[in-house]
């Protein structure tokens, strides 16, 4: 009986087809799990400044400014010394997209020595390139070291001492650069209500102010029992002690100015005005703040402020402002968050003006042919390719 066997050429072709198919599959999978690390449109294999024209939106030439800000409030370029004593402090306000942004800080910044994020661990180790000291104070690097969702009053009084204790050193020469995110107050309020409705609480927050925590009389609870799960929007709005009301103003203001949580210290109207003006000042003086509704602009301003670059571009997930909520309730939320509404209006205008100013300055420098290179960490040039060791760390992490 004659039996024909496949030729060696056919077997070689089949093997080659399997290899090519496997490589293509791995490349597609790699781009899916780590978008932006490799960019086939770029000759360098990752995002470069030439690619950014498609990433960052063009400033609106018809934008009408609401507030006057001097150049010193618009100019934000910091010579961040990651090998020195500089520390970025992230003030994380609930339901502003801070968790996503916090992960960007520990997993998505191109650094000489990336943060060490290990599977199953809630915190990453973010050491300076030249020694084992942290350059980032945030939930995902140092944990809630100053209390759960610590506010401006708590952080400014707590961070220096905590770092001294962690590093077993007394250092007075550190520079702290505070950053935060803000969100449309109605969207943020509804997001917090839905989060609480599912059983979330922040009852372990310290609310430390002037060396002590508030008494139960100063800060009563809105519910009895372990949580407020199942609460309706009406119940959530009806509680006069609900910390969701004007949360962004309260967390950015210096509460010492109004006697902390003691409502009898300052008349109500004066208290509100003092808190709002304090929040505006602290926000204006921060090294950087972003807006949840403008992810790409937030990315752009952070990169230009600190001269640090992100590996993957930020993604914008648009959602309806008040989906499924009737107009009467929306108006009630706006009333309950009157201070936050005014702060957000102020912040949005400052944010848009900063973006417009920074883009204009960058274009002017391009025309003059004197664009300074953005640094990746300290001492690395923009046209420098990622090292093999760096890329291996990224690949292994994914």
The verdict on whether 149 is a catalytic residue reads yes
Q: Pick the catalytic residue: 92, 104, 149, 207?
A: 149
- The chain-wide mean pLDDT, for the chain, equals 86
- Architecture of the CATH domain 71-367: 3-Layer(aba) Sandwich (3.40)
Task: Characterize the bridge pairing of strands 86-91 and 175-182.
Answer: parallel
For residue 347, is pLDDT > 70?
yes
Least confident of 25-29, 202-206, 345-349, 370-374: 370-374
**Would you place residue 177 in the very low, low, confident or very high pLDDT band (cuts 50, 70, 90)?**
very high
C-alpha to C-alpha distance for 126 and 132, rounded to whole angstroms: 9
**Would you place residue 349 in the very low, low, confident or very high pLDDT band (cuts 50, 70, 90)?**
very high
For residue 131, is pLDDT > 70?
yes
Q: What is the pLDDT of residues 191-223, one digit of tens each?
A: 999 999 999 999 999 999 999 999 999 999 999
In this prediction, residues 247-260 reach a mean pLDDT of: 98
Backbone φ and ψ for 10, nearest 5 degrees, come out as -65, -40
Least confident of 52-61, 128-137, 155-164, 242-251: 52-61
pLDDT of residue 393: 45
pLDDT of residue 114: 97
239: number of Cβ within 10 Å: 16
Backbone φ and ψ for 290, nearest 5 degrees, come out as -120, 170
Name, in order, each residue with C-beta under 8 angstroms of 75's C-beta and a sequence gap of 6 or more. Answer: 357
Q: What is the DSSP letter of 272?
A: H
Write down the domain spans for the chain.
71-367
Task: Characterize the bridge pairing of strands 175-182 and 136-137.
Answer: unpaired
351: number of Cβ within 10 Å: 21
> 0.85 cut: is pTM over it?
no
Q: What is the pLDDT of residues 23-69, one digit of tens each?
A: 666 655 544 444 333 333 333 333 444 444 458 999 998 999 999 99
pLDDT of residue 33: 40
- How far is the CA of 288 from the CAs of 164, 248, 347, in angstroms? 24, 16, 11
Specify the long-range contacts of residues 155-161, CB closer than 8 Å, at least 24 apart.
155/89, 155/91, 157/208, 158/208, 159/87, 159/89
**Quick one: tokens of 231?**
């609460």
Kindly tell me the burial class for residue 10, based on how many C-beta atoms sit within 10 Å of its own C-beta (0-12, 13-18, 19 or more).
exposed
**Would you place residue 381 in the very low, low, confident or very high pLDDT band (cuts 50, 70, 90)?**
very low
In this prediction, residues 178-200 reach a mean pLDDT of: 97
Least confident of 180-194, 245-259, 359-373: 359-373
pLDDT of residue 390: 38
Share above pLDDT 90 across residues of the chain, in percent, rounded to a whole number: 73
Share above pLDDT 70 across residues of the chain, in percent, rounded to a whole number: 80
């Amino acid at each position: 009986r004659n039996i024909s066997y496949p030729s060696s050429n056919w077997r070689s072709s089949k093997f080659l087809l399997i290899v090519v198919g496997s490589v293509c599959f791995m490349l597609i999978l790699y781009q899916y799990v780590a978008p932006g690390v490799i960019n086939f449109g770029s000759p360098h294999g990752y995002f470069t400044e030439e690619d950014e024209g498609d990433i960052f939106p063009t400033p609106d030439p018809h934008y009408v400014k609401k507030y006057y800000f001097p150049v010193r409030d618009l100019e934000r370029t910091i010579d961040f010394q990651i090998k020195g004593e500089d520390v970025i402090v992230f003030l994380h306000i609930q339901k502003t997209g801070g968790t996503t942004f916090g992960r960007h800080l520990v997993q998505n910044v191109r650094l000489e020595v990336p943060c060490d994020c290990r599977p199953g661990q809630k915190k990453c180790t973010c050491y300076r390139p030249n020694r084992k000291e942290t350059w980032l104070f945030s939930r995902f690097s140092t944990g809630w070291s100053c209390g759960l969702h610590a506010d401006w009053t708590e952080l400014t009084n707590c961070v220096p001492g905590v770092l001294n204790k962690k590093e077993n050193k007394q250092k007075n020469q550190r520079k702290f650069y505070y950053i935060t995110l803000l969100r449309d107050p109605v969207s943020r309020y509804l997001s917090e209500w839905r989060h609480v409705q599912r059983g979330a609480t922040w009852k372990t927050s310290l609310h430390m102010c002037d060396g002590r925590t508030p008494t139960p009389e100063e800060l009563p609870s809105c519910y009895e029992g372990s949580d407020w799960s199942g609460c309706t929007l009406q119940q959530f709005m009806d509680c006069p002690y609900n910390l969701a009301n004007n949360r962004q103003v309260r967390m950015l203001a210096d509460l010492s100015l109004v006697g902390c949580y003691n409502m009898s210290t300052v008349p109500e109207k004066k208290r509100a005005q003092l808190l709002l003006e304090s929040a505006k000042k602290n926000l204006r003086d921060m090294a950087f703040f972003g807006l949840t509704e403008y992810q790409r602009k937030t990315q752009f301003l952070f990169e230009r402020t600190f001269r640090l670059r992100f590996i993957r571009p930020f993604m914008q997930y648009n959602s309806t402002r008040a989906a499924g909520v009737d107009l009467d309730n929306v108006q009630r939320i706006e009333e309950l968050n009157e201070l936050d509404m005014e702060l957000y209006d102020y912040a949005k205008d400052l944010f848009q003006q900063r973006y417009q100013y920074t883009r204009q300055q960058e274009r002017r420098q391009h025309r003059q042919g004197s664009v300074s290179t953005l640094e990746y960490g300290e001492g690395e040039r923009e046209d420098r390719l990622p090292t093999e060791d760096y890329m291996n760390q990224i690949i292994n992490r994914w």
